[in-house]
Structures are given as C-alpha cells and as structure tokens.
Chain A
Amino acid sequence: MHIPDGYLSPQTYLPLFGVFIGAIAVAVKKVKKEVPARNIPYLGMAAAFSFIIMMFNLPVPGGSSGHAVGSALIAILFGPWAAMISVSVALVIQALIFGDGGITAIGANCFNMAVFMPLIAWFIFRLICGKSRAPRRIVVAAFFAGYLSLVLSAILTGVEFGIQPLIASGADGRALYCPYDLKIAIPAMAVEHLLLFGIVEGVITALIVQYFVRQHQIMIYAFRTTGTDE
C-alpha cells in the first residue's frame, strides 16, 4: 500500500499533499486539546508499533505481498487524531530512509494509511460499539474496525492508482504513470486485503483491544468520559 514515486501524477499527489497537511493541522489542534499528557509515551510506542508491524510482509502465494498498518488499533486506544500523527511519522521515516513509499507520494500514503484509515476505523468502532461496554461487543467492533479500515484504505489506494491512465497518457497513448486502470487496480488492491491482510489487521486490533479492555479500560480513548485528563 506504499505508493512509490512515479505511480501518481502531480495532479494526484499534489492535492493529496494538501489534504494531508490540512488533516495534520486539525490533528495537532485536536491532540493539543483532547489527549492527556500521560499518553505522550504511548504515542511514541504507537509509532514504533506501526513501523514494525508494516515490516511483516505476508505473502499471498501466487500473488504479491502486503501487511497490516496498525492505524485502527492506535485510533481506538489513543484517538484517531493521535493515530494520524504517530502513523504519519512512521510513514515519513519509511519513505525518507528506507524508500518504502515515494517522496512525491508521502502525502498520498499518509492520507491513505494515517488519515483516512484511523478515521474510518474510529467511525466503524463507534458505530458497532454504540454505548455498549460489553467486552464481546467491543472486541467484535475492534475486529471490524481493523478489517474494514484496511480494506477501504486499500481500495482508496486502488482508486488513486486506477485513475492515473485517465489523467495522463503520452502522445502514443501509453500511460505516463501507473499503467493500470480502475478495473484492474481496485480488485487487485481489494481482494488481497479482503482475504488476508485485512483479517490480520482485524485480529491484531481485536486481541490488543481485548487486553486493554480487561486490564486498562480506563485508558481507552474511545471510552473516555471527558475531553481532557481525569
């Protein structure tokens, strides 16, 4: 899901940089207002967790490889705004130092995995959980938050890939950037994440949320009673 340099046209990656910067500006304000200072160490650990979890490339035999991201878990435990900052840091380091994801695509990759994904996960978690604090309901909500948020981010990435042939092709009719259109890119991105990587994301999210529900429920951002530190 890390789009490399050259796959997106400037008409795509520049607006996505803009959207990403705007989202981070909102995230900074929200984190300043809502995240308690005692969570600072956890945000650092969350960034490290996301970085490490993305290194676990899983093979789809006969296909390609992929990985979980960790954004859903971080969003549920520490809030979607904090997740945006932690996961963005991990993604920028991956691009700058390890060439995982392009420099020109930093805005796009951060938008897909560090903005869109935690927000969607947060929304799904709240939707399924409602006001319930029943552990089983919480764990189910966490699974689907992880599963669906990764699948939907993968589809979003597929859309960004797939619109490239529509946006830019050379005089010879050949694509200038990603050569695959929506009909190829969306199913390719969706299927592998539906069948494997999304399930991994869901299970990791559910297991760790379950641990926090049992041991440290008071810390879970999704269950906070006030906007600030108690």
Chain B
Amino acid sequence: MHSEQQGLMNNLQKKIVVVLLILVVLTPAGLLLPMFFNTGAAWGEWSAETLKEVTGYVPAGLAKYTKTWKAPLKNYTFSHDDSSRMHQSGYYLVSGILGAMLAMSITLLLSKLIIRNGK
C-alpha cells in the first residue's frame, strides 16, 4: 500500500481499468438481451406514445414535460431510424465508452477539488 505511485497507476488501479474495459465491451448485451426476450422499457419509463397505447391517453402534464429536454444521444444511440442490431450495438458500445469516460473524468475533477492534497 505504501509503494503506490510507481508509474501512472498501481496494480489494483490497472486491474480495475481492465475490468471496466471488459464490462464496457460487453454492454451491447444490455441492449440485445431485452430485445431478444421482447421485453419493453423499464417499468415507469415508457414514452408518451407507449403510455397512450396502454392507458388510452397521455396525461396532460406528462405531455408537456416530456419535451423539456432533447438529449443529444437519447437511448444511447446515434440514430433512432437505423434498424440494424449490429449498428445499434455499436452505437450502444460507443455511448458506453463515452459515458464512462465522462463519468470518470468529471468525478476525478470534482473529487480533486473536494479532497485537497496535504490536508
């Protein structure tokens, strides 16, 4: 534990990064498995259209709020019209890499700001 900081990362950190890389490569399973079993979105995460099919109407407040924000990579994809599972898996994977890298760098930055060295 006291011989850390040899090089950029210690052994444990290298191991974790490898595990994260393996996990991120496997993320398309998280898209394909629900497709394969033909399951819908998570409970309570339906689109306004799906909700209308199920309940017969779109709640008025919900209809107003669903347009609050247009996420650039909504549903972890770059193209909603692309029906190729192969392409969608690729988009999902790239979204995973992008999101994980962003999450890691922003958290690093924030925790560096919070935890100052030499306290």
Contact = CB atoms under 8 A, between A and B. Distances in A.
B115 to A, nearest CB: 5
Q: Most chain-B CB neighbours within 10 Å: which of A43, A52, A65, A228?
A: A52
Contacts of A177: 59, 61-62, 65
Contacts of B68: 5-6, 102-104
A52 B42 contact: no
Interface residues of B, number: 69
A41 B42 contact: no
B107 A98 contact: no
Interface string A184-204: 010011001000000000000
A176 interface: yes
Contact of A102 (B9, B17, B69): B69
A161 B57 CA distance: 17
Interface of A: 1-7, 9, 28, 31-32, 35-53, 55-67, 82, 85-86, 89-90, 93-100, 102-104, 157, 161, 168, 170, 174-180, 185, 188-189, 192, 215-216, 218-219, 228
30 contacts: A3-B44, A4-B45, A5-B69, A7-B44, A7-B62, A9-B61, A40-B115, A44-B105, A45-B16, A45-B17, A48-B101, A51-B99, A51-B103, A52-B24, A55-B31, A55-B92, A56-B27, A63-B43, A64-B40, A65-B33, A85-B110, A89-B103, A99-B69, A177-B61, A179-B51, A179-B55, A188-B44, A189-B43, A215-B12, A216-B12
Q: Which 6 residue pairs of A and B lie closest in terms of their CB atoms, listed nearest first? A: A99-B71, A6-B62, A176-B61, A6-B65, A99-B74, A44-B108
